[in-house]
Amino acid sequence: MTASPRRAGRLEHRLTTPNASLADLDGAIALAIEHELAALTVNPWLVKAAKRQLGRSRVRLGTVVGYPSGAHVLAVKAFEASKALEQGATQIDFVLNVGALVSRDEDAVYNDMLAVIDMAHSALAEVGVILGPDPIAEPHLRRACLLAERAGADLVVTGTGDATAARSIGRSRIARDSLGIRVDVKACGRFRSAEEIAAAFEAGAARVSTQLSPELLSVASDAPQLAAAAVR
């Protein structure tokens, strides 16, 4: 069963595990196209192959930069982003420099964000700031959201994808409360049920990013609570 486009259009499939292979990519592409997902996010080395397979599909092709630590120097993140864009990525999610954030070096955090955001926008790509890796205290999360908004991010992403659904939902609520209406929230984590996905939307997420499966998408297409959340 194919998920409703209205609901599937707010879901993103992630293929960012370290051992993700070309065979895994084949399955991910088929899933994203069949269910008309909002996006498919893959490891950087898979972007070129993913672009070729997606062809003219409307599925947005995303990748990750500065992953998973975010502690890379600015020039490295900028180079990563430039290569991903060159190979066909239309969405860049990059990991926040948490060390600089907790050190209160806001200039370093902001400049790090700006380098990737400006590059992505120059290529007409969407860009999100990943609030990770953990641990990050709530005051730092809120400050990171403000800096991401100031730098021009399109999205704030709740984490690198390893968090539980409950933690991702909690962060979605904090991020949504910290941001203006221009910046969306992407709940990213280990979602296992339609109820968890619906809860993320209720918490203020505009999109949910997780490792999806045909079974979860089939259940999600019939879940009344997800249908209600999707139209808000």
Average pLDDT over residues 81-101: 98
- What integer is the mean pLDDT of 195-221? 93
**So what CATH class is 5-230?**
alpha beta
pLDDT at 62: 98
Average pLDDT, the chain: 93
Q: pTM of the entire structure?
A: 0.92
Q: Count other C-beta atoms under 10 Å from residue 213's C-beta.
A: 13
Q: Mean pLDDT across the stretch 65-82?
A: 96
Alpha helix segments (H runs only) across the chain? 5-8, 22-34, 47-54, 74-86, 98-102, 106-122, 138-151, 165-178, 194-202, 214-222, 224-230
My answer on whether omega of the bond before 139 falls inside 30° of 0, hence cis, is no
3-state secondary structure of 171: helix
CA–CA separation, 142 vs 124, rounded Å?
27
Average pLDDT estimate for 85-93 = 98
Please check the confidence at residue 182 and state whether its pLDDT lies above 70. Answer: yes
Give me the helices (H) in 130-187, please.
Answer: 138-151, 165-178
Interior/surface letters 9-31, b for 16+ CB within 10 angstroms, e for the rest: bbbbbbbbeeebeeeebeebbeb
What are the structural domain ranges in the chain? 5-230
How far are the Cα atoms of 133, 165, 205 from residue 211, in angstroms, in the given order?
18, 12, 17
